Structure 1
Amino acid sequence: MTVTINLIGGSECYNSLLTPLVFNIDDIKKLRELGICGILSGTLPTASQQNIFLTVPLKLMVEEAIWLHIKGLAKFKVLRCNLLDSINEILEKDGEQIEKTAKLRLKKSFDLQREYKKEQHLLKLERLGITDSERIEKNVNGNDKLLEAALFIETPTTSNLLNNIHLSSVGWGISDKLLKILISQYGNWDNYLLFQALRDKGYVLAPGGRFGGKFIAYPGDPLRYHSHMIIRDALHYREQPIDFLELAANARLGTGVKKIWVIGSSTETDKGPTNNDKAIVDDNISFYSIEWAGFG
């Protein structure tokens, strides 16, 4: 089974590609099994949610998208037209029907929630030994405002708009141009080589910005484990100088958050993919872990 990754192009289609997105729930489940967790980012403009309530699309790192394609686990689909124009065209044609469908779906969701919450409230009164019908009715009616405040808006997991927009499949043979565009999103091919080496060793990686690194690495599913390592951007330590103040600061940061600070790079000088359809599979990756031991 292969997953579908959507690459949204700019007005010139292939001249710019935005963050890889996955909209299909089954694909997201499959990615989780493969150790690719991504970040859920979907919400409603008028009903913003906390992170734990966000829904599709799943936003992938560019490295994750490239790794999946190289492993033959994903295929790309590209919106080959201006997305905003396509959406406006659909809204002009079917906007009223889409709005009507959304309102009916919301009303049905609220009705089901009200029914469920009233049933749960009656069961609670029953467990408390309250059996008088008048008292029960007064209690239930008195909680109507609380009940209404507890209703939540369910963000749909499918997009009616996306289904109506023409998607062009790039297929298995990812073009050299498309691969280079994806790589250009972060500009350092060695970062991908670090990602690939760690992912192939079984680590699950996520963006590491909140800890000052490029990635953070988990030994398994992030829902089961804390992250163990902070990986900084690839550093050619044979050619580039190492700032010892930065080294000490990062080591102390890693120790402070109970993680190992890791630097790594390829020992080769190749800076990008080959001219064929597949990217380099580079085994010449070395890593160094740094910890603050403390003294004095």
Structure 2
Amino acid sequence: MPVTINLICGAQEDGQTILSPLIFNIDDIKKLRDVGICGILSGTLPSAAQQNIFLSVPLKLMIEEAIWLYLNGLAEFKVLRGDTAHLVKEILDRDAHNIHVVAKERLERSFELQREYKREQHRLKLERLGIISPETSNKNTSDQSQNDKLLEASLFIETPTTSNLLNNLHLNHENGINDNLLHILVSQYSNWDNFLLFQALKDKGYVLAPGGRFGGKFIAYPGDPLRYHSHMVVRDALHYKDQPLDLLELAANARLGTAVKKIWVIGAPIPTNDKLESNNIPSKKDVSFYSVEWAGFG
């Protein structure tokens, strides 16, 4: 079953709609990990901002990742039009009472289950220590009120990892708009050839992530980033025929790549007559890559 990519509509710049691809469902994030799409966790609490390793959902995808998933039939789009905060406020204003009742019932049910579990664990512990016998374990003890106070103090509130509010309510979700959303995503590109590089590397089994911190467009891992270091820094796609490669950039990036134990990679689609597929996006092309390493002076 395809995962759901939530496209959050941002402000318009130069007449174009800016879309941010986000994943809110934990199960969908697990599925993406299995196909080598890792994204970046971006969720945090404004009142208690966390460092990168403590961030949670939503998972933010690169535009290339969202397009690749859709073209391979692994994802479908769901759009939130307009200001997201305003949409959520409208929903809360309209259904505030029902949302409050459901949340309160769920919380009380959670507390009751915790109380039953903790009382049973406490009873079994006293039996093991020989303080009470199985015959008297169900009788109230003299310090029952004190035990109840300690029990209530130990209850915890679970913080959900997914949003039932967004999952259960229809927020301007229209059928048959996936192709239109794809065109909007494609239109955000200043260089469509970057996606062709992404696609070619994915076909070779690499896992890709944003490469800005190493001066490139992508960084490429041979497998899951939790198991491997990245091997390559890939620059923006280069047009071999009409785009020069600055010698200073060549030396600087080759030195940087070697310093961080990575290969600096230049890639570009092999020039051909452009053709359009049935969905009006550029067709898949063969891509060539060149790697550069710093060897030193002399």
Under a length normalisation based on structure 2, what TM-score does the superposition of the two structures give?
A: 0.75
The answer as to 2:131 corresponding to 1:156 is: no
Question: Given the alignment, which residue of 158, 162, 166 partners 2:171?
Answer: 166
Structure 1 unpaired stretches of 5+: 120-147
What's the counterpart of residue 257 of structure 2?
254
Contact 1:78 1:170 in 2 (8 A): no
- Post-superposition shift, 1:293? 0.9
The CA deviation string for residues 122-157 of structure 1, in whole angstroms up to 9 with x for no partner, is xxxxxxxxxxxxxxxxxxxxxxxxxx9xxx997531
Percentage of matched positions with identical amino acids = 65
Alpha-carbon distance between aligned partners in 2 of 1:241 and 1:11, rounded to the nearest angstrom: 34
The answer as to 2:276 corresponding to 1:274 is: yes
What's the counterpart of residue 35 of structure 2?
34
Alpha-carbon distance between aligned partners in 2 of 1:29 and 1:50, rounded to the nearest angstrom: 22
Contact 1:44 1:155 in 2 (8 A): no
Question: Given the alignment, which residue of 188, 192, 209 partners 2:191?
Answer: 188
Contact 1:86 1:165 in 2 (8 A): no
* CA pair 239-11 structure 1, distance change in 2 beyond 3 A: closer
Contact 1:174 1:277 in 2 (8 A): no
Contact 1:7 1:17 in 2 (8 A): no
Farther-moved stretch of structure 1 (250-259 vs 83-92)? 83-92
Rg (Cα) greater in structure: 2
Under a length normalisation based on structure 1, what TM-score does the superposition of the two structures give?
A: 0.75
Alpha-carbon distance between aligned partners in 2 of 1:170 and 1:212, rounded to the nearest angstrom: 40
Alpha-carbon distance between aligned partners in 2 of 1:26 and 1:225, rounded to the nearest angstrom: 23
- Post-superposition shift, 1:72? 1.0
Alpha-carbon distance between aligned partners in 1 of 2:238 and 2:278, rounded to the nearest angstrom: 26
The code of the aligned residue for 1:289 comes to: S
* CA pair 215-270 structure 1, distance change in 2 beyond 3 A: farther
Contact 1:47 1:153 in 2 (8 A): no
Alpha-carbon distance between aligned partners in 2 of 1:269 and 1:22, rounded to the nearest angstrom: 36
- Whose RCO is larger (CA < 8 A, sep 6+)? 1
Alpha-carbon distance between aligned partners in 2 of 1:51 and 1:97, rounded to the nearest angstrom: 35
The answer as to 2:13 corresponding to 1:8 is: no
Alpha-carbon distance between aligned partners in 2 of 1:274 and 1:179, rounded to the nearest angstrom: 14
Matches within 5 A, 1:1-296: 1-10=1-10, 16-95=17-96, 101=103, 156-163=160-167, 164-171=169-176, 174-175=178-179, 177-268=180-271, 274=276, 276-277=278-279, 279-296=281-298
The code of the aligned residue for 2:36 comes to: G
* CA pair 254-288 structure 1, distance change in 2 beyond 3 A: same
* CA pair 11-295 structure 1, distance change in 2 beyond 3 A: closer
Alpha-carbon distance between aligned partners in 2 of 1:244 and 1:93, rounded to the nearest angstrom: 61
- Post-superposition shift, 1:275? 6.0
The CA deviation string for residues 259-284 of structure 1, in whole angstroms up to 9 with x for no partner, is 0000111122667x826216444232
Alpha-carbon distance between aligned partners in 2 of 1:167 and 1:238, rounded to the nearest angstrom: 45
Contact 2:6 2:80 in 1 (8 A): yes
Contact 2:277 2:283 in 1 (8 A): no
Alpha-carbon distance between aligned partners in 2 of 1:20 and 1:239, rounded to the nearest angstrom: 33
Q: 2:271 is paired with a residue of what secondary structure?
A: coil
Alpha-carbon distance between aligned partners in 2 of 1:82 and 1:71, rounded to the nearest angstrom: 30
Alpha-carbon distance between aligned partners in 2 of 1:51 and 1:153, rounded to the nearest angstrom: 24
Alpha-carbon distance between aligned partners in 2 of 1:15 and 1:241, rounded to the nearest angstrom: 30
Q: 1:230 is paired with a residue of what secondary structure?
A: strand
Farther-moved stretch of structure 1 (61-70 vs 78-87)? 78-87
The code of the aligned residue for 2:268 comes to: S
The code of the aligned residue for 1:62 comes to: I
The CA deviation string for residues 179-201 of structure 1, in whole angstroms up to 9 with x for no partner, is 23202333210000000000011
